């Protein structure tokens, strides 16, 4: 049976894959695993949960189901309303909650939704804890009655606590910066423009009118065309784009060029390194980060530690080894001194802070790294279990020798499909394409 939890919680089409009943059952199981529900009689203390969501229409009934499951299990619930995932994570810690719940499908279209659970302190769950919640879905529970049931109250005003927190992390005012912010009609549509204005920037917000059905539609970090157009036509200094739950951020410079997560991390890492704030002079990235990022960090005297793809693996390495900056090319940037997860608003504020302190435009700051041409071919319909076949490994070794220090090869089986991804970086796009095509042919032959 397939694992219910994916790489970022439980996700699916709301009402079909992710039903109200499943949401309630997950909440009940999570209450017992994370909140130690049922211990009220022995301790005299009820556990507390915070619950937030993005603006999807389905979030309304899923929130009701999750809140019902938690309260029925004896957990007091604070409903935070529509807030970004990192805000829910921060408030889980700041309010001393035993668990947090975020209802969102991130950058997915509106019919999808998801449930993410957060442990005490606001950190994402380990695989082992998720497996325990999933295992206990079928348990028979004894529910409290009378004074033992959880109480529910609205705590929408806590959004200001989050805004105040991200603003206190800054060491530069943004006075005079002209910014366009694309909120993806998502969870950041209120807090992001307000925070940026309070930081001193002149702000034009787009994608900030959610109707429950338009989240990520033509806006946000996966659809940058509108933001590019507005930045250039307005003559703004830059644009920033969040995804549906605002845990990632991408940027647009004043010419309309895209500044991806690798470049944002490079800018932040160089700035923190220069101020002596980069822990162990190290940044954590995934194997998919561009080789140009790694070369730029090497030249700047910064070590790059690599992890598997996924911000949770970046965070795990950061926590275990004491690093404070890491992230992904997609725009998930984790600043562990200030947040327990990727935080698009926090990232954009610190990126703007570097601009304000240096007086340099984003285009010039982004020149800290030169991305190498990167070709990605998804070879579908193959046996991904054969990705380590000796003939394929030999072809990869030959390609790596051909590319030398100015190129890279990555062969990665898909986690969810019968597909193997072939990624090649080289000094020229033509060379990268040639090598990628050649390796894709080997995959089709060997992994048929």
CA distance linking residue 322 with residue 331, whole number of Å: 21
CA distance linking residue 123 with residue 34, whole number of Å: 12
- The one catalytic residue in 106, 221, 289, 330 is 106
Among 148, 92, 152, 104, smallest CA distance to 339 is for 92
DSSP line for 274-338: HTT-SGGGEEEEETTS-HHHHHHHHHTT-EEEEE-SSHHHHHHHHHHHT--EEE-TTS-EEETTT
How many other CB atoms sit within 10 Å of the CB of residue 319? 13
CA distance linking residue 249 with residue 241, whole number of Å: 6
CA distance linking residue 401 with residue 202, whole number of Å: 50
Phi, psi of 6 (to 5 degrees): -100, -155
Among 38, 40, 31, smallest CA distance to 97 is for 31
How many other CB atoms sit within 10 Å of the CB of residue 148? 14
CA distance linking residue 2 with residue 105, whole number of Å: 19
Enter the tokens of residue 311.
Answer: 């911000």
Q: How far is CA 106 from the centre of its chain?
A: 8
Contact 290, 329 (CB under 8 A): yes
Angle between the N-to-C axes of helices 127-135 and 20-34, in degrees from 0 to 180, rounded to the nearest 10: 120
CA distance linking residue 330 with residue 316, whole number of Å: 18
Q: Which residues face 377 on adjacent strands? A: 422
DSSP line for 65-112: HHHHHHHHTT-EEEEEEE--HHHHHHHHHHTT-SEEEEE--TTS-TTE
Reply yes or no on whether 106 is catalytic.
Answer: yes
Q: Which residues face 77 on adjacent strands? A: 49, 152
- What is the three-state SS of 261-280? HHHHHHHHHHHHHHCCCCHH
Show the CA angle centred on residue 356, arms to residues 352 and 361, nearest 5°: 80
**H or E segment at 144?**
none
How many other CB atoms sit within 10 Å of the CB of residue 431? 18
Torsion angle, CA of 113/380/223/107, rounded to 10 degrees?
Answer: 20
Active site residues: 106
């Amino acid at each position: 049976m397939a694992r219910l939890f994916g790489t970022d919680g439980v996700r699916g089409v709301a009402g079909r894959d992710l039903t109200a009943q499943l949401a309630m059952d997950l909440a009940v199981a999570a209450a017992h695993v994370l909140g130690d529900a049922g211990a009220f009689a022995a301790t005299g203390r009820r556990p507390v949960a915070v619950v937030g969501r993005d603006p999807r229409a389905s979030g309304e009934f899923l929130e009701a189901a999750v809140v019902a499951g938690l309260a029925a299990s004896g957990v007091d619930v604070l409903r935070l309303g529509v807030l970004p995932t990192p805000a829910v994570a921060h408030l889980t810690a700041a309010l001393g909650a035993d668990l947090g719940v975020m209802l969102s499908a991130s950058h997915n279209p509106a019919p999808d939704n998801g449930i993410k659970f957060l442990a005490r302190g606001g950190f994402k769950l380990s695989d082992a804890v998720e497996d325990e919640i999933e295992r206990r879905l079928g348990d028979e529970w004894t529910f409290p009655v009378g004074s033992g049931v959880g109480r529910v109250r609205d705590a929408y005003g806590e959004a200001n606590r989050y805004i105040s927190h991200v603003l206190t992390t800054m060491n530069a005012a943004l006075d005079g910066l002209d910014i366009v912010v694309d909120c993806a009609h998502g969870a950041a549509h209120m807090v992001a423009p307000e925070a940026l204005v309070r930081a001193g920037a002149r702000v034009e917000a787009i994608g900030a009118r959610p109707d429950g059905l338009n989240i990520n539609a033509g806006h946000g970090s996966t659809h940058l065309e509108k933001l590019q157009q507005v930045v250039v036509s307005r003559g703004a200094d830059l644009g920033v784009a969040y995804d549906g739950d605002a845990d990632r951020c991408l940027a647009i410079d004043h010419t309309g060029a895209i500044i991806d997560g690798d470049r944002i991390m490079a800018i932040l890492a160089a700035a923190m390194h220069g101020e002596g704030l980069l822990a162990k002079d190290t940044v954590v990235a995934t194997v998919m980060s561009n080789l140009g990022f790694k070369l730029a960090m090497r030249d700047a005297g910064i070590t790059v530690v690599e992890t598997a793809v996924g911000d949770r693996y970046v965070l795990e390495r950061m926590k275990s080894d004491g690093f404070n900056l890491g992230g992904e090319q997609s725009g998930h940037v984790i600043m562990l001194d200030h947040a327990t997860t990727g935080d698009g608003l926090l990232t954009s504020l610190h990126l703007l802070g570097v601009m304000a302190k240096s007086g340099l435009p984003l285009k010039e700051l982004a020149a800290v790294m030169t991305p190498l041409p990167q070709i990605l071919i998804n070879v579908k319909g193959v046996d991904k279990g054969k990705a380590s076949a000796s003939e394929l490994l030999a072809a990869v070794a030959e390609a790596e020798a051909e590319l030398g220090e100015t190129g890279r090869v990555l062969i990665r089986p898909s986690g969810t499909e019968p597909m193997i991804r072939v990624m090649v970086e080289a000094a020229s796009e033509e060379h990268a394409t040639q090598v990628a095509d050649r390796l894709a042919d080997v995959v089709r032959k060997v992994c048929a």
